[in-house]
Amino acid sequence: MTQQRTRLSPLSSDPIPAVVTRTPIQHPLIYRKRLLDTSEATGGDLVAVYAESQQQPYAYGLFNPRSELSLRLLWNGAEFPDERAWERRLKQAVQVRTEVLRLPEECSTWRIIHAEADGLPGLVVDWFDGILSAEAFSLGMYQRGSLLMPMLAQMTSAKHWMLRPSPQFLAQEGCEPDVLATEGFPDQIVVHEYGTRFRVRFAGSHKTGFFCDQRENRRKLAEFCADKTVLDLCCYTGGFSVSAALGGAREVTGVDIDDIPLQVAKENANLNHASARFVQADIFTWMREMLRNGRQFDVVILDPPKLIRSRREIEEGTKKHFAMNRLAMRLVRPGGLLLSCTCAGLLQEAEFTRLLAAAARSGGDDFTEMGVSSAPRSFRTIARTGAAPDHPVHSGCPETEYLNAAWLLMD
């Protein structure tokens, strides 16, 4: 590293640490193996990023040597971002949700910051009717949370905010920081989307407390449920279950292994005067028992949690998706609907489609033992959807298109 590459911030006399890549990289997420020299930088630093043969930086980003995903790019170009650059990023994200998508007219909850898609890699923030709930995936972004969250709260007139590290923060970022929150941050809140009400409990919940990304899919599902029997697998707090009941379903059953989300699911059904039954069980055990009993449903939703968090988990996570869908497909009556979802961004849509086709074809002795036909099934895809539009997809970061939902008519 030459001394020529150590730049001074125009906002202070402090030097800006530099890191070097072999060639310029435009993707916002850069793995450690692609970095040549990081000797000047320490964990959490805002760094200038140089290509090996250049004396001017081509980008600025946040660095953590402990993470395999060591560098997250924030700004491209040689010019150092001015002191209002963070504020502009936040303001642009807010304007998309409020002025372009006009979400406040229909809902009181939505994703307000979607990481790389909003130019803030390593940070997601959801809005819950005046409450900001955020999750940090990078050390550098977590360290700046005490600056960014009050700024966003002022911009949106939010009453409270909370920032917590992701569940994998220790393994991925090498430390385990505390949760940051305003004094008096509430334990829970009731929000609504398109007239449906949901209770959000923040303590002990997954992610930011609620899955806003499935909002449009919940609404669409209700259109298929009139006078139908509906099964919601991995139902969490009952979003699809409640939507199905409000869509006129004759019978709704939600299944999940975690007790606390199921308690919230029951409260959500009560909030909406919706009739639904919730069962605490491992879905594999439960599905096999239903197949032994000869039970099938008109509509089945399979929306598992994220099963692939890194490239090391692709093989195992893909096998789990295959096994889940193989059983779920046999629980759908001929002519019925399976809504199969994956939120594993590393399982791309084409591969997910092949997986579903293979699951439909798959027979086996275990089906025979359960008294189920092992003959292959087929399906017709009537729709493919993804996350709600407040989870935009960035052209330079295909990973931001992480949610795939396949709507299958089972033959």
Angle, vertex CA 400, rays to CA 397 and CA 404, nearest 5: 130
According to the model, what pLDDT value does residue 315 have?
85
According to the model, what pLDDT value does residue 308 have?
76
In the sheet with 180-181, reading across from the earlier edge strand, the strands are: 109-114, 123-128, 131-136, 160-165, 180-181
According to the model, what pLDDT value does residue 403 have?
94
> CA-CA distances (angstroms) from residue 95 to 125, 134, 390?
14, 18, 11
According to the model, what pLDDT value does residue 6 have?
52
Architecture of the structural domain at 85-189: 2-Layer Sandwich (3.30)
Residue with tokens 């789990």: 320
Strands (DSSP E) contained in 77-174 are 109-114, 123-128, 131-136, 160-165
123 and 148 Cβ atoms separated by less than 8 Å: yes
Report domain extents, the chain. Answer: 3-76, 85-189, 211-410
- Ordered mean pLDDT values, 10 residues apiece, the chain (411 residues): 46 74 94 92 95 93 94 95 93 98 97 96 96 95 95 97 92 90 96 96 81 96 98 97 98 96 96 97 96 96 87 85 95 98 85 94 85 88 97 90 95 93
CATH H-level superfamily of 3-76: PUA domain (2.30.130.10)
51, burial (CB in 10 Å: exposed 0-12, middle 13-18, buried 19+): middle
Is the pTM higher than 0.85? The answer reads yes
136 three-class SS:
strand
Architecture of the structural domain at 211-410: 3-Layer(aba) Sandwich (3.40)
